[in-house]
Structure formats: C-alpha cells, structure tokens
C-alpha cells in the first residue's frame, strides 16, 4: 500500500491514520481551490518577509540617508519603493513592517480565540442565567464598532503596539463567542453528548473534550476571515498615532506620515497602503477557501 492509499483508505486501522487521512483530504480540497491557494501563498510570503526581513531589506528601516540627496526620492533601482521625508528606504520599512503586522495578527488570534471559545461554549452548553449574563456582555461589546472600542481601550491604556494588541484582542472575541454558542446549541443534546453525560463525564470534560473541538473548525475559519479586519484596525490605530510609535515601521503609521505628501510624492503613502491591501486580500481568500473546506454543512 502506497502512502497515498494509506492516507485515503476508507477503513483506517488506527486513530492516527484516520486523523492523517482527514488532514490530507482537507489539504487536497484546499489545493483544488485556486483563489485559496493564492491567499495561502500571500500569507506564506508575509511570513517569509517577517522572518527574512533583515536579509531582504537593503537598508536600515530606522536610519535614513542624506536628507539633501535622498529625501523623497521616487521609486528606482536603488530604492524600489522610493524614500520618505527622512530619506529612509520605504521598501526596507515595508519588509520590516511585515514583522509587526504578523505579530499583531498572531497575538490577537492567540488571545481572542480562546476567550471567544470559552465564553461561547460555556454559555451554549450551560444555558440559563449563565447564558443570559455572558451573551448580554457580548452584546455590549458588539454594540460598538470595533475601531471605536479599540480607540477607547488604547486611550485608557496609552499608545503603543503592545497596548494596541491588547485593545484589538479585547474587541475581537465577541463574534467568536457568538459563533461558538450557536455551534454548541446544535450539538449539546446530541446522542454522543448524552452518552458521555450518562457515563459520568463532568461538565468541564464534556465542554473541553467534546464540544470545543467540534466548534473549533468554524471558529478558525472566522478568525482567518477576521485577519484582514485585525490588520486594518491595527493600521487605523497606527494612522491615528495610538498604535506603533515612531520610528517603528508600522504600515498604518507610514501612511499617516506620508499623507502630507500624497499629492506630490504619492509613493510615500501608497506603498504601505498596497502592502495592507495585498495582505488583507490574501487572508480573505484563504479564509473563504477554509470555509468551503471545513464547513461540515457544505455540499462536497
């Protein structure tokens, strides 16, 4: 039996083979979606940029050149994306800005996803007054636009990339909680849940051992689709001066610094704007592909 036949076997002989086969089928389904693969390559390019930025960037992102000769130079072979008002190479700053963008996306996902999952599954499974209290708190967060609420948190915590990450995470979990609750309501009275309950499994064991894994795929898809919104929120905070602080090469802050020259020196603000657009598009395409693959209700 070849490795492919082993992975695609309809009668797996072990749990490891079943999991490996499911992962391989998921990859084949994702691979068949061309737009999803485009999104995946864009995301992988972002990761590569973040890892190898010191090797790719030809100049120091924080130190500029001669202000008399290199300030506000248009795109050329020497400076692929031109230079800004402090004679810093924009291409180098965009490369290093990928690190900040990836850090924001990763940390917000790590912080917000467990919070949303825990609140949503707990509210959906326990019901009663617990559901009422948790969902009303969720409704309060959902009543405010994400950027406005993030601005309020950052204003209270103070400007900075760390506080911006905390603020974005605190405003990102409510949709995940809503989705996890809806998924939990559809499975909490299933036969296998009742069987686990009759065997003496505790509520905590059922929540984290049975309910949460079933809700995880839908939440992962939603998180991937929200990555673009997270990037835009971080860029918005940076644009307003409440996110990453100068001289950090954050894309939103770079656009804010270049808006004064948008008419005569368009590349200063346009280049980081294109980076935000491409990365946001990549996450959206990848999220759409994952939704098609991981949605259990989708027609295969």
Q: Which of 3, 4, 36 is nearest to 288 (CA)?
A: 36
pLDDT in tens, the chain (300 residues): 688 888 888 888 888 888 888 888 888 888 888 999 999 999 999 999 999 999 999 999 988 888 888 888 999 999 999 999 888 999 999 999 999 888 988 999 999 999 999 999 999 988 889 999 999 999 999 888 888 888 888 888 888 888 889 999 989 999 999 999 998 988 888 888 888 888 888 888 888 888 888 888 888 888 888 888 888 888 888 888 888 888 888 898 889 888 888 888 999 999 999 999 999 999 999 988 888 887 655 544
pLDDT reported for residue 52: 92
CA distance linking residue 165 with residue 147, whole number of Å: 12
* Residue for token pair 């969720």: 138
Structure tokens at 198: 């009759």
Task: Return the pLDDT at 155.
Answer: 85
Q: Which of 238, 233, 264 shows the shortest CA–CA distance to 250?
A: 238
115 Cβ contact partners less than 8 Å away, ≥ 6 residues apart: 169, 173, 176, 177
Q: Which two tokens stand for residue 100?
A: 């900040």
On whether the CB atoms of residues 223 and 176 are closer than 8 A, the answer is yes
CB 244 within 8 A of CB 251: no
Cβ distance 107 to 118 under 8 Å?
no
Going from the C-alpha of 219 to that of each of 17, 70, 109, 184, 294, the distances in angstroms are: 25, 48, 11, 12, 10
Domains of the chain: 24-294 (1.10.3720.10)
For residue 89, list its beta bridge partners. Answer: 83
Residue-wise pLDDT for 160-202, tens only, equals: 888 889 999 989 999 999 999 998 988 888 888 888 888 888 8
Q: What is the pLDDT of residue 89?
A: 92
C-alpha 242/C-alpha 10 separation (Å) is 54
Yes or no: say if 116 and 169 are a contact pair by the CB < 8 Å rule: no
pLDDT of 295: 66
| Torsion angle (degrees, nearest 10) of CA 57, 228, 146, 240 | 30
């Amino acid at each position: 039996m070849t490795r492919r036949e082993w992975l695609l076997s309809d009668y797996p002989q072990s749990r490891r083979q079943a999991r490996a086969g499911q992962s391989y089928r998921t990859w084949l389904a994702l691979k068949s979606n061309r737009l999803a693969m485009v999104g995946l390559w864009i995301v992988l390019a972002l990761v590569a940029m973040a890892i190898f930025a010191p090797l790719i960037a030809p100049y120091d992102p924080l130190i500029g050149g001669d202000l008399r000769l290199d300030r506000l130079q248009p795109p050329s072979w020497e400076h692929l994306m031109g230079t800004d008002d402090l004679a810093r190479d924009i291409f180098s700053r965009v490369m290093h800005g990928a690190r900040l963008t990836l850090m924001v996306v990763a940390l917000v996902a790590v912080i917000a996803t467990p919070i949303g999952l825990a609140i949503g599954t707990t509210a959906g499974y326990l019901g009663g007054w617990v559901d009422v209290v948790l969902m009303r708190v969720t409704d309060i967060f959902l009543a405010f636009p994400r950027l406005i609420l993030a601005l309020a948190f950052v204003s209270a915590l103070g400007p900075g990339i760390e506080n911006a990450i905390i603020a974005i995470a605190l405003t990102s979990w409510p949709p995940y909680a809503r989705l996890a609750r809806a998924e939990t309501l559809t499975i909490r009275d299933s036969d296998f849940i009742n069987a686990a309950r009759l065997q003496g499994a505790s509520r905590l064991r059922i929540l984290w051992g049975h309910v949460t894994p079933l809700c995880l795929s839908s939440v992962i898809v939603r998180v991937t689709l929200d990555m673009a919104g997270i990037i835009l929120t971080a860029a918005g905070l940076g644009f307003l001066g409440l996110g990453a602080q100068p001289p950090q090469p954050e894309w939103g802050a770079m656009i804010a610094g270049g808006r004064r020259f948008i008419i005569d020196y368009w590349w200063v603000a346009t280049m980081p704007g294109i980076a935000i657009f491409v990365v946001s598009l990549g996450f959206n395409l990848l999220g759409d592909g994952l939704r098609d693959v991981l949605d259990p209700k989708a027609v295969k």
